[in-house]
Amino acid sequence: MVIIMEHRHHGKSSANFLDADEILTELDLKGNETFMDAGCGDGYIAIKAIDKYLPDGKVYAVDNYPQSINDLEEYKKENNVGNLFNVEADLAGEISEIEKASVDVVLMLNVFHGFKKNADEAILELKRVTKDDGRIAIMEFAPVEMQFGPSLEVRVSPDELEKQFSNHGLKKIYLNEDIGAEIPDGKSHYLMIFKKEQI
Ligand SMILES: C[S@@+](CC[C@H](N)C(=O)[O-])C[C@H]1O[C@@H](n2cnc3c(N)ncnc32)[C@H](O)[C@@H]1O
């Protein structure tokens, strides 16, 4: 009998190996933007963004795992966080709670490699919610051997990521390949930021 291990995503958090400040600093937030944590998991990025980087902003924490969204709703109530909006939705479908061209900055951390056949749908949905002058930041595991993270086969290289996004009119404006946890080959991750091509 062959047992196929599904690449499990739900309920995972990068909090114990990726520093929220290192990531959010890269995004150069001014403090009043609308931000989306796409595939937020436990929401440690969304919460840090609200607490420290977006005092006058608005944060959407989006995930399709109901437990994560329920926990974030509890957090919101207990801490009286008015500008955190927790949305249970499929990123590769239409997120009806988020209007077209309403988000300044999207961050998708350690999620993109999980999309297979529906990667194009996910890219199009991120593009739909992003303002024309907004930015989409994708942070992913570097495609090299390391002690943690998904298997090499499912990882997406910076070149592949750039190509997939450029197929949808999204232009790479920034790449940092020296970010994340220390590994023998350097750093565990890369961060790529895209903008909509102006027609
Ligand atoms: C590896 S976890 C990363 C969580 C968080 N971004 C972090 O880095 O701590 C991937 C997250 O993406 C969510 N996810 C996967 N596919 C999704 C989809 N199609 N729509 C919404 N969320 C999704 C999972 O439920 C999970 O919370």
- CB of 68 closer than 6 angstroms to any ligand 1 atom: yes
- CB of 9 closer than 6 angstroms to any ligand 1 atom: yes
Q: Provide the residue type at 175 as one letter.
A: L
What are the chain's domains? 20-196 (3.40.50.150)
Q: How far is the CA of 96 from the centre of ligand 1 (A)?
A: 18
Which pLDDT score, from 0 to 100, does residue 1 have?
37
CA distance 60 to 63: 10
Which pLDDT score, from 0 to 100, does residue 6 have?
40
Phi, psi of 118 (to 5 degrees): -100, 20
Among 6, 7, 8, 9, the mutation site with the greatest number of ligand 1 atoms within 8 A of its Cβ is 9
pLDDT band at residue 11 using 50, 70 and 90 as cut-offs: confident
- CB of 17 closer than 6 angstroms to any ligand 1 atom: no
Given the CA of residue 90, which atom of ligand 1 is nearest to it? 20
- From start to end of the chain, where are the E strands? 34-38, 58-63, 84-88, 103-109, 130-141, 170-183, 186-196
Q: Average pLDDT, stretch 165-179?
A: 98
Q: Average pLDDT, stretch 163-192?
A: 97
Q: Provide the residue type at 21 as one letter.
A: D
> Among residues 177, 176, 171, which one has the least CA distance to residue 194?
171
Has residue 62 got a pLDDT over 70? Answer: yes
- CB of 180 closer than 6 angstroms to any ligand 1 atom: no
Has residue 5 got a pLDDT over 60? Answer: no
Has residue 8 got a pLDDT over 70? Answer: no
DSSP 51: I
Average per-residue pLDDT in the chain?
94
Contact 57, 28 (CB under 8 A): no
Has residue 45 got a pLDDT over 70? Answer: yes
The strand pair at 170-183 and 186-196 is best described as: antiparallel
CA dihedral 72, 78, 82, 83 (to 10 degrees): -30
Q: CB atoms < 10 A from the CB of 5, how many?
A: 6
